[in-house]
A and B are shown apart, each in its own frame.
Chain A
Amino acid sequence: MAFIKLVKNKAYFKRYQVKFKRRREGKTDYYARKRLVVQDKNKYNTPKYRLIVRFTNKDIICQVAYARLEGDVIVCAAYAHELPRYGVKVGLTNYAAAYCTGLLIARRLLKKIALDTVYEGNQNVDGDDYLVEPVDDGPGAFRCYLDVGLARTTTGAKVFGAMKGAVDGGLDIPHSNKRFPGYDAEGKSFDAKVHRDYIFGQHVANYMRHLQEDDDEAYKRQFARFIKLGITADGIEGMYKKAHDAIRANPEYKPAPKKKVEKKRFGEKKLTYEQRKAKVKKVKEEFLKQLEAGEDVDMS
């Protein structure tokens, strides 16, 4: 093998320029963030709100925020783990749950700024185009822009489910139906019925029915938690319909009660300066005592 010069030597590290911290962590797309967050200078300090939708493996996080120099300020937040309160106990990261979370944050935010009676949003959920109309006399609709983060914006993505929930809840989010499930890329047409089925979890219900017929073992494995709660394929639409009504009835945030946790100690407690000095003094005294007594000195 020919001689290979070490590339990552001291000089390399001295000259290396790290990317922004959140870019190194792979969490923020600064190209998108600059365009989402920055306000026109002739609008001075007016907040530019954005609806942040993020999906983890088991949860959905929806937040409405605006940017400030000291750090972004979150106006309102909603999580999919709050949905059990409204009757949705399983399937917390599917399209229907995303819709519910979007609806929840919209109603919660509008209630917070006292616009929930003025902007009711779309009461009949049919998956069709709906854009919030500003009321003639009174404040305009609450406008925010969707922040997908690093999610891939394909047709039928769940981020758009959350956005649809927020729009139907009464927020003004500019969008088109090109990325909703039910949009036909070839025909360039939108089928609202397919979208409606996704909002009410019918795609999950259909899979449940399919598995039940074909492979019972797989059905039991895939939908174990549904079976435990007694949720059938036919009951799914009703479950989400009830959830939408419950969300509209009471979108207030209820914080979980604080649990009393007793702190467990795993190691020894650190000694104070006096305790350490006392320890040394004690060992010294014992050593001298042994010397005086003339015994064999213990050198350990």
Chain B
Amino acid sequence: MTNPKGYRRGTRYMFAKPFRKHGVEHLSTYMKVYRVGDIVDIKGNGAIHKGMPHKCYHGKTGRVYNVTPHAVGVIVNKKVRGRYIEKRINLRIEHVKHSKCREDFLNRVKNNAKLRAEAKVNKTSVSLKRLPKPPREAHVVKTADTTIQDVRPKPYEFII
């Protein structure tokens, strides 16, 4: 006895609208601009039946390769058995949003360009690299208002 193969099988919750977010879609969904190469998250919107993604693409992130009047074409990598296949799907705007994974990078690019231009004008040298959080600098800890707690391991004791 195999499972049914309905297109939207098992999507009762996946495509359900969130609590108190039913009804007309707010217009900022439609006013976002998508260009070729943008990285987008795919999230199916159960209220809009046209241009919906298949349930296997819900939550995936892809790149825009085509823009049409009401939809975008997205390239997504789908895992099939042991490999990833590049898939091209057509999705309406309502099921797609800009991915924030790209936002940090794009802001950093813009910022670096600005810093580089400033450094060129001021003739200073500037490092644009991101650095991991370094160890804390040497500092003095006052113990006037606090007591120092000494923490050390206890010897083993069998407790029932």
Contact = CB atoms under 8 A, between A and B. Distances in A.
Interface of A: 15-17, 19-20, 30-31, 33-34, 37-42, 44-45, 67-69
17 contacts: A17-B20, A17-B23, A34-B24, A37-B27, A37-B30, A38-B30, A39-B31, A40-B70, A41-B67, A41-B68, A41-B69, A41-B70, A41-B93, A42-B68, A42-B69, A44-B33, A44-B67
B125 interface: no
B15 interface: no
Nearest to B31: A69
B5 interface: no
- Chain A binding surface SS class: loop
Residue in A16, A19, A33, A34 with the greatest tally of chain B CB atoms within 10 Å: A34
B68 A34 contact: no
Residue in B22, B33, B68, B72 with the greatest tally of chain A CB atoms within 10 Å: B33
A19 B23 contact: yes
A79 B67 CA distance: 40
Contact of B20 (A15, A37, A40, A42): A15
Interface in B18-67: 20-24, 26-28, 30-35, 67
A69 B28 contact: yes
A34 B28 CA distance: 10
B16 to A, nearest CB: 14
**Chain B contact patch, size range:** 20 to 34
B68 A38 contact: no
Given A37-B31, A41-B33, A67-B31, 16 more contacts: A17-B21, A17-B22, A17-B23, A19-B23, A20-B26, A30-B24, A33-B27, A34-B27, A37-B30, A38-B27, A38-B31, A41-B67, A44-B67, A67-B27, A68-B31, A69-B32
B34 A20 contact: no
B80 to A, nearest CB: 29
A15 B19 CA distance: 8
B68 to A, nearest CB: 6
B24 A20 contact: yes
B115 interface: no
Residue in B21, B31, B35, B71 with the greatest tally of chain A CB atoms within 10 Å: B31
A184 to B, nearest CB: 38
A45 B35 CA distance: 10
A40 B69 contact: yes
A292 B48 CA distance: 82
Nearest to B64: A41
A192 B23 CA distance: 44
B72 A41 contact: yes
A39 B26 CA distance: 15
Q: 4 closest pairs, A vs B, by CB?
A: A40-B69, A17-B20, A38-B30, A42-B67
A44 B35 contact: yes
Contacts of B69: 40-42
Contacts of A45: 33
Nearest to B17: A17
Contact of A41 (B22, B24, B34): B34
A52 to B, nearest CB: 15
Contacts of B68: 41-42
Nearest to A31: B24
A152 to B, nearest CB: 22
A45 B20 CA distance: 31
Nearest to B93: A41
A34 B27 CA distance: 7
Interface in B69-88: 69-72
Contacts of A37: 27, 30-31
